[in-house]
Amino acid sequence: MFEKILIANRGEIALRIHRACREMGIKTVAVHSSADADAMHVRLADESVCIGPPSSTDSYLNIPSIIAAAEITNADAIHPGYGFLSENAKFVDIVTAHGIKFIGPSADHIRLMGDKITAKETMRKLGVPCVPGSAGEVMTLAEAAQSAAEIGYPVIIKASAGGGGRGMKVAATADDLSEAFSSARSESKLAVGNDAVYMEEYLSTPRHIEIQILADGQGNVVHLGERDCSLQRRHQKVLEESPSPAMTDQLRTRIGKTVADAIRDMNYDGVGTIEFLFENDEFYFIEMNTRLQVEHPVTEMVTGIDLVQAQINVAAGYPLTLRQEDIKFSGHAIECRVTAEDAVTFAASPGPVTEFHVPGGLGVRVDSALYTGYNIPPYYDSLIAKLIVHSNSREECLLRLNRALEEFVVSGIKTTLPLHQEIVHNAEFRAGSYNIHWLEKYLAER
């Protein structure tokens, strides 16, 4: 097992990883920007190294600084968390070349899944259902027109190197195609420096459902069920739950087996998430994330499995002892992402936190690096806390979530806690009858 892990991240996820390490008897190294010297992840780690000025580009994305910090402290592995360098294949190559273990999949798997065209082609060949679409890249407008005619309108044009909805355009009819095709390409070129695009049938009202997998690269793969992440605003998830209100045991078992088989065939190792659009009881693969995700606690609560400890174990070369039949899904979990933003305008609200009181009690978990007196710096992601609630049924989970939200106090800054209170009281949300457009529509009409 590793003796010391460098955590190449900040905020609640750095703390989350530190906690897993501590319980496993592994020492931790925190890295931080000059703006984060007083951050909780720095306070709790065994050692810390300042890796640069406030800007992420110069600190949490600064590869030479992070490698130097690992060498100085003699860390034998690096955990990237989510965001930052977590899906950067070049970083994995450099970490590996320095004789340090990257806690995550191989650089090749990250590259394969980072290119959405090769990701989809790989999954299709391995028997995973995909959205009907073009055979790979669409290079010219003529090709786009032919492909769209075969698929049928409406179609969606996506950037192969994209993600988070960047460079994504819908063409409702043939009249919209030329404009959609050229703007998808130029947006993609601008955002990711690559103008390769592909095309799919546009699904009008799907849910976003993702399957969590855990693999050891030694032939052992398990799936840990689904998370429904349909509640999003501008491609940022707001609330996630498991099980999905739209799922059945039969559908879960079937897609879970399909996904686990594909991941085994790929020889993938580590944790991963396979994202689907789900409409009329059918799954359509869209993308795979090769990292630990923000919403992983929802899965931890319903399976009882510590995903970060599992991730560290497989990275250290221990085979998975867990078998699919050992995994029991118990009850219901909901995660609310609390951000330092105005709950109505979504204007950023960094600054000093004068009061921070978290809810507690049975089935309530708060993952946060905040403390009373902390000054939230303006340079990073606005996530300040994840409230995760677990109970026996969705109904009881909603009652518990409402109770926990009532107890939660954050003063000095604005937060999205009031938005979560609105959502938990909303009849449509309570009925579970929502899709990927529900939240934006609700926000536009409220």
> Does residue 235 bind ligand MV4 (CB under 6 A)?
yes
Nearer to ligand MV4, 125 or 235 (CB): 235
Options 36, 187, 200, 226; binder of ligand MV4; rule CB under 6 A: 200
Q: Where are the alpha helices (DSSP H) in 351-437?
A: 394-407, 417-425, 427-431
Which residues carry out catalysis?
A: 291
Instruction: Kindly indicate which of the ranges 53-61, 178-186, 200-208, 249-257 contains the residues binding ligand MV4, using the contact rule CB under 6 A.
Output: 200-208
Q: Supply φ then ψ for residue 154, to 5 degrees.
A: -75, 150
Contact (CB, 8 A) for 9 and 83: yes
Shortest CB 240 distance to ligand MV4, Å: 11
Nearer to ligand MV4, 14 or 168 (CB): 168
> Does residue 424 bind ligand MV4 (CB under 6 A)?
no
* Residue where the block lists tokens 């106090």: 409
Options 69, 203, 214, 401; binder of ligand MV4; rule CB under 6 A: 203
> Does residue 208 bind ligand MV4 (CB under 6 A)?
yes
10 Å Cβ neighbour count for 234?
Answer: 10
Is residue 190 classed exposed, middle or buried when 0-12, 13-18 and 19+ CB atoms within 10 A define those classes?
exposed
Angle between the N-to-C axes of helices 107-114 and 89-97, in degrees from 0 to 180, rounded to the nearest 10: 170
Q: Supply φ then ψ for residue 298, to 5 degrees.
A: -60, -40
| Binding-site string for ligand MV4 from residue 379 to residue 418, where x marks contact by CB under 6 A and - marks none | ----------------------------------------
> Does residue 165 bind ligand MV4 (CB under 6 A)?
yes
Options 181, 202, 268, 283; binder of ligand MV4; rule CB under 6 A: 202
Shortest CB 284 distance to ligand MV4, Å: 7
Strands 27-33 and 4-7: parallel
Among residues 175, 201, 171, 173, which one has the least CA distance to residue 184?
171
Contact (CB, 8 A) for 32 and 50: yes
Shortest CB 290 distance to ligand MV4, Å: 14
Contact (CB, 8 A) for 353 and 262: no
Contact (CB, 8 A) for 205 and 268: no
> Does residue 152 bind ligand MV4 (CB under 6 A)?
no
3-class SS shares of the chain: helix, strand, coil, % to 5 = 35, 25, 35
Nearer to ligand MV4, 131 or 398 (CB): 131
Strands 101-102 and 169-171: unpaired
Shortest CB 168 distance to ligand MV4, Å: 6
Instruction: Kindly indicate which of the ranges 104-112, 201-209, 254-262, 409-417 contains the residues binding ligand MV4, using the contact rule CB under 6 A.
Output: 201-209
Query: Considering only residues 286-325, where is the footprint of ligand MV4 by CB under 6 A?
Result: 286-287
The region that residue 15 occupies, defined by phi over 0 for left and psi between -120 and 50 for alpha, beta otherwise, is alpha
Contact (CB, 8 A) for 302 and 243: yes
Shortest CB 418 distance to ligand MV4, Å: 22
Shortest CB 389 distance to ligand MV4, Å: 22
| Binding-site string for ligand MV4 from residue 118 to residue 147, where x marks contact by CB under 6 A and - marks none | -------------x----------------
Shortest CB 329 distance to ligand MV4, Å: 23
Kind and range of the H or E run holding 171: strand 169-171
> Does residue 232 bind ligand MV4 (CB under 6 A)?
yes
| Binding-site string for ligand MV4 from residue 252 to residue 281, where x marks contact by CB under 6 A and - marks none | -------------------------x----
Is the bond leading into 54 cis (omega within 30 degrees of zero)? no
Catalog residues that contact ligand MV4 under the rule CB under 6 A. 131, 156, 165, 168, 200-203, 208, 232, 235, 277, 286-287, 436
